[in-house]
Chain A
Amino acid sequence: MAEIILQSISHSYEVKRGAPDESARGRRAPSYALRDVELRWRDGGAYALLGPSGCGKTTLLGIISGLIHPTRGSVRYGDKDVTTLSSRERNIAQVFQFPVIYDTMTVRQNLAFPLRNRGLPAAEIERRVGHIAEILELTEVLPSRATRLSADQKQILALGRGLVRQDVAAILFDEPLTVIDPHRKWLLRRKLKEIHKQFHHTLIYVTHDQTEALTFADEVVVMQHGAVLQRGTPEELFRRPAHTYVGYFIGSPGMNVMPCEVERQAGGARARIGAYEVALSATGAADAPSGHLELGIRPEHIVVLGDAEAGGLPVSVTAVEDHGRFRIVTGKLGDHRIKIRLGQVATPGASAITVGATLRVRLPPEHICLYRDGRIVGSGVGRDGEESA
Chain B
Amino acid sequence: MIEKTRSNKAWLLILPMTIVVAFSAIVPLMTVVNYSVQDILGPDTKVYVGFEWFRKVLRDPELHAAFLRQLLFSFAVLAFELPLGLGVSLLMPRRGWAVSAALVVLALPLLIPWNVVGTIWQIFGRTDIGMGGAALVKLGLHYNYTADRVDAWLTVLVMDVWHWTPLIALLCYSGLRAIPPAYYQAAAIDGASGWSIFRYIQLPKLKNVLVIAILLRFMDSFMIYTEPFVVTGGGPGNSTTFLSQFLTRLAVGQFDLGPAAAFSLIYFLFILVFCYVFYTVMNRVGQG
Contact = CB atoms under 8 A, between A and B. Distances in A.
Q: Do chains A and B touch in the complex (CB under 8 A)?
A: yes
Interface of A: 65-67, 86-88, 92-94, 96-98, 100, 102-105, 113-114, 117-118, 158, 161-162
A197 to B, nearest CB: 23
Nearest to A87: B188
B31 interface: no
B5 interface: no
Nearest to A88: B188
7 contacts: A87-B188, A88-B188, A98-B182, A102-B201, A104-B204, A114-B191, A117-B196
Interface in B182-210: 182-183, 185-186, 188-193, 196, 200-201, 204-205
Nearest to B200: A102
Contact of B183 (A92, A100, A105, A114): A100
Contacts of A104: 200, 204
A96 B185 CA distance: 10
B185 A67 contact: yes
A330 B200 CA distance: 55
Contacts of A98: 180, 182
A93 B189 contact: yes
Contacts of A158: 186
Nearest to A97: B182
Nearest to A117: B191
Given A117-B192, A118-B191, A100 B204 contact: no
Contacts, number: 50
Contacts of B189: 65, 87-88, 92-94, 114, 162
Given A94-B185, A103-B205, 19 more contacts: A86-B188, A87-B188, A88-B188, A88-B191, A92-B189, A94-B189, A96-B182, A96-B185, A100-B182, A100-B183, A100-B186, A102-B200, A104-B204, A113-B190, A113-B200, A114-B190, A158-B186, A161-B190, A162-B189
Contacts of A65: 185, 189
A199 B191 CA distance: 22
Nearest to A161: B190
A320 B190 CA distance: 52
Interface string B170-187: 000000000010110110
Interface string B219-243: 0000000000000000000000000
Those 8 A-B pairs whose CB atoms lie nearest each other, nearest first: A117-B191, A114-B190, A96-B182, A100-B186, A87-B188, A102-B200, A88-B188, A104-B204
Contacts of B192: 113, 117
Contacts of A67: 185
Nearest to A92: B189
Contacts of B185: 65, 67, 87, 94, 96
Contacts of B186: 94, 96, 100, 158, 161
Given A87-B189, A94-B189, A105 B182 contact: no
A168 to B, nearest CB: 9
A105 B200 contact: yes
Contacts of A92: 189
Nearest to B186: A100
A87 B186 CA distance: 9
Contacts of A113: 190, 192, 196, 200
Contacts of B196: 113, 117
Nearest to B180: A98
Contacts of B201: 102
Contacts of A66: 188
Contacts of B183: 100
